[in-house]
Structure 1
């Protein structure tokens, strides 16, 4: 085991995958010589050469389009879109081609590609560097969507994604890149000193897609979260003293509905948390599923806490994020309902 940041764990996953399988290629904007804007691919070009880790033109549709062709040919591209906000020019390629290739070809072709994208805010990047567009992908049949919350899961899930025969959208929360996020803070943590890094195996291992995990056991209420919000939920439970059970979804599609329903039926209360905007966010799907399957077990209406229904507010970034104060108020209201 080694102590790694999420960046280091993601890099280690690609390193292991490239070492085990010569068909794995890594590319994107500034991914090669520069090592990526967040340095997730640092050193891979030097180790594996320019034919397996290389820079691409500033053309997201071109990056995704060529990856689809490579995947159909038999390669396993793991591409990086520099920020999730930049994926819109490539959305047609992802939804009309990558997601449908297996079905359109009646199984003659598959599309074993991974699209890595930094997601969410926390770096004061403004409107075009801070969005959380996961719901745009979970709506598309044929795409699998992953959002890790810690370095161990980031490496294990990315290895599973690279080995998957179908396209995977791998969303990496930027606030978790350089160390475990301290969910108690409503403002940026200026130093990561004293924070425990993730314990991650240096060699090959995988975390299965489609399996959630209970991060904190409890009996009073269930909190469904993913990515950065897992840490905020943990901080909220500690600060309020409410015995909440926290489920880290890890994979949004396929969704581990069994773990969710088992928890909600036990606690009788449910709160859904995500950083993306409230309206039509992924939380709405979670609420519908819980309502459908757990109606007679619920003791109160299902609660949702999310980002504002506004364009991403640069100046008010840390007020936009659901933090322990907002979650705590919602959780107390849920317990009193």
Structure 2
């Protein structure tokens, strides 16, 4: 296995996620590259063809667009065009999504997943908590090594250092490190309050802890029992799982921090409607169709907990 990217080695990455790896494994396995995403993903293809397991890092989701065709037109298409004679197995780590404080702008707070959703055969996983990140990454590595799959591990920047859920110091977003060998099945979601059915909220990434906080307020205000569903796997969406979770729902909210057009939320709603559940009162809480602006202005175009609560009220107004 090889890990490489911009500042990934001695510095340990912009967010120190790979800190210490270079000290342990040296340049043979962990090294930094030029500031060129095309080179990074091109290297990954070469190493993959040599039988290695490349784990390249794209420093920010927005930077992927600079080299999108290395995945869409090359890596992910090799099995298809060679009748599975050749493969480019890799796990591409990408830091991204919104809500990052102190370092804004559309190149560092990019919430568009559209380019990733458009690539046939690609797998995209997006954890919202630390233990899920570990088991998902193990699964993606296995998919690459065993099945030759090309995948993206999308890491929500704003959740890297998150420890608390409801109140400062509660430690409710800290979880035990998964035991060696423990992994996550491809397409497997996580369900909070599985027995609740007054309202079911579908979300992922940053939207997941936001939805859990909003659920507590909705339950307090309305007396509803609220289920929160973490999709975890964004490409391909597990449509059967989504339909199962929506089947007994009295109301549905889809919380998608991506943009209004061509986002994950559209796929969730399509899965619900195509399962014959379109009559269930449903609403989407989603980002605006715009680039993410600097500093606090970013919050004007991204979903907030108050938006989730307001959307629940719109499903059944308070009298």
TM-score (norm 2): 0.90
Q: 1:248 Cα deviation (Å)?
A: 0.5
Matched, 1:213 2:190: yes
Q: 1:221 Cα deviation (Å)?
A: 2.1
Q: Residues 184-263 of structure 1 correspond to what in structure 2 (within 5 A)?
A: 193-196=169-172, 197-201=174-178, 203-217=180-194, 218-241=196-219, 242-263=224-245
The CA distance in 2 between the partners of 1:152 and 1:273, in whole Å, is 22
Count of equivalent residues: 305
- The Cα offsets for residues 180-200 of structure 1, whole Å up to 9 and x where unpaired, read as 463x69xxxxxx644242211
Which residue in 2 is equivalent to 1:176?
159
Q: Helix, strand or coil for the counterpart of 2:261?
A: coil
Matched, 1:136 2:115: yes
- The Cα offsets for residues 20-54 of structure 1, whole Å up to 9 and x where unpaired, read as xxxx1100001111111111111111111211000
The CA distance in 2 between the partners of 1:86 and 1:181, in whole Å, is 30
Check conservation: 2:112, 2:259, Cα contact below 8 A: no
- The Cα offsets for residues 238-259 of structure 1, whole Å up to 9 and x where unpaired, read as 0011322211000012322222
The CA distance in 1 between the partners of 2:266 and 2:29, in whole Å, is 40
Q: 1:312 Cα deviation (Å)?
A: 0.9
Which consecutive residues of structure 2, in runs of 5 or more, have no partner in the other structure?
Answer: none
Match of 2:14 among 18, 37, 42: 37
Match of 1:83 among 46, 60, 75: 60
Which residue in 2 is equivalent to 1:311?
291
Which residue in 2 is equivalent to 1:151?
130
The CA distance in 1 between the partners of 2:118 and 2:63, in whole Å, is 18
Relative to structure 1, is the Cα distance of residues 210 and 299 closer, same or farther in structure 2, using a 3 angstrom cutoff? Answer: closer
Match of 1:265 among 226, 247, 252: 247
Check conservation: 2:203, 2:228, Cα contact below 8 A: yes
Check conservation: 1:223, 1:272, Cα contact below 8 A: yes
The CA distance in 2 between the partners of 1:84 and 1:151, in whole Å, is 19
Check conservation: 2:254, 2:283, Cα contact below 8 A: yes
Q: Residues 86-125 of structure 1 correspond to what in structure 2 (within 5 A)?
A: 86-121=63-98, 122-124=100-102, 125=104
Q: 1:160 Cα deviation (Å)?
A: 0.9
Q: 1:278 Cα deviation (Å)?
A: 0.9
The CA distance in 1 between the partners of 2:113 and 2:191, in whole Å, is 21
Q: 1:323 Cα deviation (Å)?
A: 1.6
Which structure 1 residue ranges, 4+ long, deviate > 6 Å from structure 2? none
User: Which moves more between the two structures, 136-145 or 152-161?
Assistant: 136-145
Q: 1:75 Cα deviation (Å)?
A: 0.7
Check conservation: 2:44, 2:54, Cα contact below 8 A: yes
Check conservation: 2:237, 2:267, Cα contact below 8 A: no
Match of 2:304 among 309, 315, 323: 323
The CA distance in 1 between the partners of 2:29 and 2:277, in whole Å, is 51
Which residue in 2 is equivalent to 1:332?
313
